[in-house]
């Protein structure tokens, strides 16, 4: 009986070991599945981040191009303002000369003999103010 009891005890220990191995196998399988899911999740996250980085790089290039275009536009606007300023100065000079010529013409009219004769009859002023 002692032998039967030892055999039963050994069989019980073997059964416990088998259950422990089965439990550990389930844990290992769960860890493998978790590892596969984690790898997939990480791969997806990396791909998404790569796409975001590509989009940001494209946006950066577009912004750089826009800044370059704005710089060129600023230069053209500056040149145009310079040209308009020069044109304004030329126009002011032209007007100054034209006004002086007009004043001379009006003074000539006021000082003319015809005007003096007409002004005597019409009481118009004889000198320009």
Tell me the per-residue pLDDT of 31-43, one tens digit each, with 9 for 90 and over: 999 999 999 999 9
**Helix crossing, 113-122 with 2-111: angle to 10°?**
80
- For 122, the token pair is 């019409």
Reduced DSSP (H G I as helix, E B as strand, rest coil) percent helix, strand, coil of the chain, to 5 = 95, 0, 5
The Cα–Cα gap between 33 and 29 comes to 6
Residue 97 forms part of a structural domain: no
2 — pLDDT class (breaks 50, 70, 90): confident
pTM of the model: 0.48
pLDDT of 76 strictly over 70: yes
**Residue 4: its pLDDT value, please?**
83
125 — pLDDT class (breaks 50, 70, 90): low
The domain in which residue 41 lies consists of 2-88
Residue 124 forms part of a structural domain: no
Domains held by the chain: number: 1
pLDDT of 119 strictly over 80: no
pLDDT of 128 strictly over 60: no
């Amino acid at each position: 009986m002692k032998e039967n009891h030892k055999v039963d005890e050994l069989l019980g220990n073997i059964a416990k070991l088998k259950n422990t191995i089965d439990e550990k196998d389930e844990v290992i399988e769960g860890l493998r599945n978790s590892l596969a899911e984690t790898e997939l999740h990480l791969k997806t996250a990396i791909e998404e981040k790569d796409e975001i980085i590509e989009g940001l790089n494209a946006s950066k290039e577009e912004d750089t191009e826009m800044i370059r275009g704005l710089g060129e536009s600023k230069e053209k606007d500056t040149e145009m303002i310079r040209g308009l300023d020069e044109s304004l100065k030329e126009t002011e000079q032209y007007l100054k000369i034209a006004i002086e010529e007009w004043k001379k013409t009006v003074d000539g009219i006021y000082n003319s003999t015809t005007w003096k004769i007409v002004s005597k009859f019409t009481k118009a002023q004889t000198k320009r103010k």
